[in-house]
Structure 1
Amino acid sequence: MIPIRDTAPCHSRPVVTWSLIVVCTVIFIVMQWLPYEVSYRLIHLYGMVPLRYSNPDWALAQGLPFDGYLSFLTNLFLHGNWLHLITNMWFLWIFADNVEDRMGRVRFLIFYILCGLFATYLQWYFDRTLEIPVVGASGALAGVLGAYFFLYPMARVILLPIPFIPFIFNVPAIAFLGIWVIIQLHNATTSVVFKGVSVDVAWWAHLGGFIAGILLYRYFIKPQAEE
């Protein structure tokens, strides 16, 4: 199911949301222009490589010195391929404007980063031996979805179920996002219970971000006097 748009009204310009989309897109395009060796190095330096923090000796041998956990933040602005980027930015475009509208720009940015940091931490906690970089805005985006889940549960999400077939329908956000989080939980737990299962998506980051969003969103809503 491909979400096209939502029906929740937005009463302010989502400047932070637009800025995040632009920053992530520009970084991705620049990375595509760089020589492969340079982009490969940057992805490993600024993407979150779990084993880098679990095994410092291994990290030093790979030329990955301790960075004060900086990559827990910087990985949120990197993406692995065009599909990864477009999917994240599309969900951000649909759902983040309303959350930013309810929080205000500064509060929303802090909320977004906190959700992303917790998402990255949870991914590291459950996958500490991974040697490849974890990248993407998915964890922070999941926090936005967690907030949207409670702020706009009955807003309608317009869906295109099958690509290139013009049959459109809509469902409550609580149903669409409920199914989404169940899928994340299933895939995350499967990767833990069944050892050896190939995992190329940071499911724990998705789940962690959603949890952070649920827990934190109420503390970032604008007071009535500011609305």
Structure 2
Amino acid sequence: MADTPQQPQREPIFNVPRVIAILIGVMWVVHIAADLALDDYGLGNLRIWFAFIPDRITNSAQWQGGALPLLWTGFTHAFLHVDYMHLFVNTAWLMVFGTPVGRRYGASGVLAIFLLGALAGAIVQSIALLFSINQFAILLGASGGVSALTGAAMRFIFEPIVVGKDPETGDPVALGRRTATLAGVFANPRSRTFIIFWMGLNLLIGFAPFILGASVAIAWEAHIGGFVAGLLLPSVLDGVARRNQRP
């Protein structure tokens, strides 16, 4: 009997973990549905109930729902976006830095980092507004969560691959990349350069009103808050993984 030739397998164009694809899908579905189904009044109500509004913390009586939406808007603001360009940029950034984190920590790790990063961004944004001349803002967008995934990726993507031996054959086997300590992240010239560039870019956005004489509607404080949270969280996730492996 003649062998049947096998069809070559097609590689997906975007080979991202499922959890990243789901996050991106949810963000796009929410944005497209709101764009198609809501008028300006409906869109305003959507943002009032699901975007993060720091002013609720001190002036809750002036807002629909009072302080109650603060229980969820620290997370839900990450799934709302200003426009399609805002959504596209966050989608691209999420694919780039969420993919290695997803492959390392799985769906639960990605969701923990993304959601806690979004919350950290909202908290830092609220603190920053206390020292700002313009003390009103509505925070929406996945930037805080995406920044957290970027910070988490800094803990391992620039580290060398650890090589071990197969217990049966003795052949060398790639075991993955180790998680760097916080000191190690800044000792590594590649991760240090990336962090300096990333932080510098966000600080430049923050000083734009003084340099350009005009404000830029980018929540750079939330970016930094999410990024710092992301830098710290791999230590927690690795610790949980080690405890789960103990007999």
Given candidates 6, 24, 28, the residue that maps to 2:31 is 28
Structure 1 residue 150: deviation in Å? 2.1
The answer to whether the Cα contact below 8 Å between 1:14 and 1:101 also exists between their aligned partners in 2 is yes
Task: Give the letter for the 1:65 counterpart.
Answer: G
The answer to whether the Cα contact below 8 Å between 1:77 and 1:137 also exists between their aligned partners in 2 is yes
CA distance in 1, matches of 2:62, 2:216: 22
CA 1:36–1:137 in structure 2 vs 1: closer, same or farther (change >3 Å)? same
CA 1:21–1:180 in structure 2 vs 1: closer, same or farther (change >3 Å)? same
The answer to whether the Cα contact below 8 Å between 1:52 and 1:64 also exists between their aligned partners in 2 is no
Q: Which runs of 5+ in 2 are unaligned?
A: 1-14, 161-189
CA distance in 2, matches of 1:46, 1:78: 8
The answer to whether the Cα contact below 8 Å between 2:148 and 2:231 also exists between their aligned partners in 1 is yes
Give the alignment's Cα RMSD to 1 decimal. 2.8
Structure 1 residue 52: deviation in Å? 1.7
Structure 1 residue 140: deviation in Å? 0.6
Query: Aligned residue pairs: how many?
Result: 194
Task: Give the letter for the 1:55 counterpart.
Answer: N
Query: TM-score, length-normalised on structure 2?
Result: 0.69
CA 1:13–1:191 in structure 2 vs 1: closer, same or farther (change >3 Å)? closer
123-132 vs 48-57, greater mean Cα deviation: 123-132
Aligned to 1:158: none
Query: TM-score, length-normalised on structure 1?
Result: 0.75
CA 1:14–1:115 in structure 2 vs 1: closer, same or farther (change >3 Å)? same
Q: Which runs of 5+ in 1 are unaligned?
A: 1-11, 156-171
CA 1:193–1:125 in structure 2 vs 1: closer, same or farther (change >3 Å)? farther
More contact order relative to length (CA 8 Å, sep ≥ 6): 1
Question: Between the two proteins, what is the percent identity of the paired residues?
Answer: 26
Aligned to 1:163: none
5 Å matches for 1:37-116? 37-59=41-63, 63-69=64-70, 70-116=72-118
Given candidates 122, 125, 128, the residue that maps to 2:124 is 122
Deviations 1:86-108 (A, max 9, x none): 00000111111111111121122
Structure 1 residue 187: deviation in Å? 3.2
Aligned to 1:207: 224
CA distance in 1, matches of 2:16, 2:82: 29
CA distance in 2, matches of 1:175, 1:19: 31
CA distance in 2, matches of 1:174, 1:153: 10
Structure 1 residue 64: deviation in Å? 4.5
Aligned to 1:5: none
Aligned to 1:131: 136
Deviations 1:95-154 (A, max 9, x none): 111111111211221121111111111111111564342100000100111111221126
Task: Give the letter for the 2:23 counterpart.
Answer: L
CA distance in 2, matches of 1:174, 1:30: 40
